Amino acid sequence: MLKKEKLSETGLIKEIERLSSETQGFNKSLIIKSIGDDCAIVKDKNRMLVSSDSITENVHFNFVLYNFYEIGKKSLLVNLSDIAAMGGIPRLFVLSLFLPAYVNEADIKQTLRGIIDTAKKYRVSLIGGNISKASEFSISATIIGDYKDKNVVKRYNSKKGELIYVSGELGNSWMAFYLNSNKDYIFKNYQNLSPEDKKLIENFINKHKLPEPRINLGRKLSVGKLAGSLTDISDGLVKDIFNVIGSGCGCEIYLDEIPLNKELKYICMILNIEDYVDKAVSFGEDYELLWTSEKHKEKELLKLSKSTGVKIKKIGYINDNPACVNFLKNGAAYIPKDFTFKHL
């Protein structure tokens, strides 16, 4: 479950993976899947999913874009998304809070309220944690989940001929981040903005600054055996696509098929932003699901989209060009500009 965080060295993760293998033998019967996927899978008669993720001030959030309540929410949402990315059911979590002196009691209570409200929404139970003094504000959570019907959907498992799907819309997190970071400038300098446009921008920020983990969709993909390989998009499609591709496989992605929010397109039009597709596939932080499916399951996926109310979009297919990802735009090869979220 060790995840490629945006600013960490891939080599370091490889090193951790290598080192962890020295310890795998001790509890072989307990560990079904260790480092290398969205979650570790451990079996203690029932199989549990275990994952941890952290958010840090000025790396994953700042106090311009988020208040404490929202930071609390985000800390749990990113962990929930890891369970969704396995098709699992989140159950329990523990918290580590790193609290700097300038965070006062009211701030912490707001943070906890955000965490607890999110926990209630997704029916996960806080079962412990610890608090540490620190010079910057961080929250680390470890989430434990399980899954039914013996199904769990792993990374790196796609087969040639499978279609590639994505849930919801890409780029909304980028747009919300961009708008919020530049709102004052935009409102002052774009004279053509109507009061309705400004309201639209405000609403867009509020609606999209926090991700929605696709627990229910992930669960149904898993139970219905509708996905061959599944992950969530945290680093951007351009990077995360490599997490679904099975060995000996590659893929083609049609950038014209990337699902985009209508309001995002409208806002980009009035702000003269042209490269929004590049941004939508490279910024990350959307926490939408990305998976592959056999062709004949297309109808079932349509039904699933209707029953869950979550958009599902086919964006490409798996071929047998090993480890080769081709992006196409208007029918021609295209390399998306890299706007990978540089974590502030």
Q: CB burial class (10 A; 0-12, 13-18, 19+) of residue 173?
A: buried
Considering beta carbons, is residue 58 or 203 the nearer one to a copy of itself? Answer: 58
224 near a copy of itself, rule: CB under 8 A:
no
Helix (H) or strand (E) run with residue 237 in it? helix 237-240
Considering beta carbons, is residue 15 or 338 the nearer one to a copy of itself? Answer: 15
Considering only 75, 81, 110, 140, the residue that binds a copy of itself (CB under 8 A) is 140
Considering beta carbons, is residue 11 or 195 the nearer one to a copy of itself? Answer: 11
Q: Among positive and negative, which fits the CA dihedral 61, 63, 64, 67?
A: positive
Cβ contacts of residue 299 below 8 Å, gap of 6+? none
Considering only 109, 199, 303, 337, the residue that binds a copy of itself (CB under 8 A) is 109
User: Is there a contact between 164 and 253 (Cβ–Cβ < 8 Å)?
Assistant: yes
13 near a copy of itself, rule: CB under 8 A:
yes
40 near a copy of itself, rule: CB under 8 A:
yes
Task: Return the CA Rg of the chain.
Answer: 20
Mode of pairing for the β-strands spanning 229-232 and 138-146: unpaired
Considering beta carbons, is residue 218 or 316 the nearer one to a copy of itself? Answer: 218
Measured from the CB of residue 39, what is the shortest distance to a copy of itself in angstroms? 7
Residues 260, 263: Cα–Cα separation, whole Å = 9
Per-residue contact string for residues 63-102; x = within reach of a copy of itself by CB under 8 A: ----------------------------xx-xxx-xx---
**Among the residue ranges 45-53, 189-197, 275-283, 293-301, the one whose residues contact a copy of itself (CB under 8 A):** 45-53
